Amino acid sequence: MKIHIIGGGNLGVAIALGLSQFAADRKITVTRRNTSGIQYLEQKGITVNSDNKHNIQEADIIILTVKPYQVDTVLDEILPAISNKIIASAVSGLTLEALQAKIGEQHAAVRIMPNIAAEFAASATCIAFAEKHKTEAQKVISLFSDLGTVPVIDEKLMDAATVLGACGTAYALRYIRASMQAGIEIGFDSQTALAIAAQTVMGAAQMVMKENTHPEQLIDKVTTPQGCTIVGLNEMEHQGFSSSLIKGIKTSLQKIKG
Ligand SMILES: NC(=O)c1ccc[n+]([C@@H]2O[C@H](COP(=O)([O-])OP(=O)(O)OC[C@H]3O[C@@H](n4cnc5c(N)ncnc54)[C@H](OP(=O)(O)O)[C@@H]3O)[C@@H](O)[C@H]2O)c1
């Protein structure tokens, strides 16, 4: 299978690196106008090119990872060079209807919302598609299943998926940073504090996913009555921990919806 990624920035490169590591039988091309910063990808077997049309007619799936204002230019450039393609767009705010209208009925539009943990096969890639493109979407699902989980969602939730799944990476990292800062204050050097904080988050996430349980059930296992965990946790809640997170996520969603 040949994958053609247009827009070799943060997300495009993360997907390319993920696919090159976790899906060895796939040939990957990444394009961007200025390729100087991503030439190193060639050493990992990824083709890098500044021409968006480079071998594009051979691609099984074209993935768009450019900014919303760049997408029209890209499509105007590549559409005359392709026929009957699957075009998977990670471009935030670009609806299936708008994409399909732009690319025409001969191509299948699929909407994806991965995150940069795709590089480590740990993305939550939400996907939405029209029923008529179920078969083509299945190929995209199969591809991104190599890079983490692929929840199929109703397209009207795509903005929410952007906030929870893509912006969510930043929220989680801020939690790790705050834990690290606290860790330094209570005695660890920064590297040790970061290593403990990050591993603890990974462990908590793995428990939730592997045990398929509610976080609060697991919290019960950690909180001894009158113990140090519950007093800390309650203090965090008094300071607005859950509330600030919920408000932040809703603010991000308002921003995305304009
Ligand atoms: N970053 C994330 O975590 C994330 C997660 C989910 C979805 N997204 C969505 O993915 C898209 C890309 O986000 P990003 O953070 O990866 O942005 P980014 O780092 O700015 O990457 C965009 C890339 O597109 C390239 N580009 C611009 N015009 C181009 C053209 N005409 N032809 C080919 N390449 C072109 C740019 O490089 P040159 O200027 O050198 O061409 C740049 O490397 C956005 O729509 C974003 O909303 C991002």
Pair (11, 121) in one structural domain: yes
Percent of the chain at pLDDT above 70? 100
pLDDT at 137 over 90: yes
Mean pLDDT across 20-29: 88
Which is the closest atom of ligand 1 to the Cα of 92?
47
Pair (137, 164) in one structural domain: no
Q: Ligand 1: does its nearest atom lie under 6 Å from the Cβ of 91?
A: yes
How many angstroms separate the alpha carbon of residue 201 from the centre of ligand 1? 28
Contact status, residue 32 vs residue 7, Cβ threshold 8 Å: yes
How many angstroms separate the alpha carbon of residue 67 from the centre of ligand 1? 5
pLDDT at 94 over 80: yes
pLDDT of residue 42: 97
Q: Ligand 1: does its nearest atom lie under 6 Å from the Cβ of 78?
A: no
Pair (15, 41) in one structural domain: yes
Residue where one domain finishes, among candidates 118, 137, 153: 153
Which is the closest atom of ligand 1 to the Cα of 94?
45
pLDDT at 104 over 90: yes
Kindly report the length of the chain.
258
Pair (139, 169) in one structural domain: no
Rounded Cα distance, 27 and 60, in Å:
10
Pair (80, 145) in one structural domain: yes
Ligand 1 pocket mutation pick from 4, 29, 32, 87 by most atoms within 8 angstroms of CB: 32
Percent of the chain at pLDDT above 90? 97
Q: Ligand 1: does its nearest atom lie under 6 Å from the Cβ of 115?
A: yes
Residue where one domain finishes, among candidates 130, 153, 176: 153
pLDDT at 189 over 80: yes
CATH number for the domain that contains residue 136: 3.40.50.720
Pair (172, 129) in one structural domain: no
pLDDT at 154 over 80: yes
Q: Ligand 1: does its nearest atom lie under 6 Å from the Cβ of 36?
A: no
pLDDT of residue 210: 94
Mean pLDDT across 98-114: 98
How many angstroms separate the alpha carbon of residue 64 from the centre of ligand 1? 8
Pair (113, 206) in one structural domain: no
Pair (14, 131) in one structural domain: yes
CATH number for the domain that contains residue 227: 1.10.3730.10
Pair (123, 164) in one structural domain: no
Half-sphere exposure of 13 (CA within 13 A, CB side): 14
Out of 21-30, 57-66, 78-87, 238-247, least confident range:
21-30
Residue where one domain finishes, among candidates 133, 153, 173: 153
Residue range of the domain that includes 250: 160-257
Mean pLDDT across 181-201: 98
Please state, rounded to an integer, the average pLDDT across all residues of the chain. 97
Residue closest via CA to ligand 1's atom 43 equals: 9
**Total domains, the chain:** 2
* Confidence band of 258 (pLDDT split at 50, 70, 90): confident
Burial degree of 208 (CB within 10 A; 0-12, 13-18, 19+): middle
Pair (93, 118) in one structural domain: yes
Pair (232, 124) in one structural domain: no
Contact status, residue 182 vs residue 200, Cβ threshold 8 Å: no
Pair (142, 19) in one structural domain: yes
pLDDT at 23 over 80: no
pLDDT of residue 173: 98
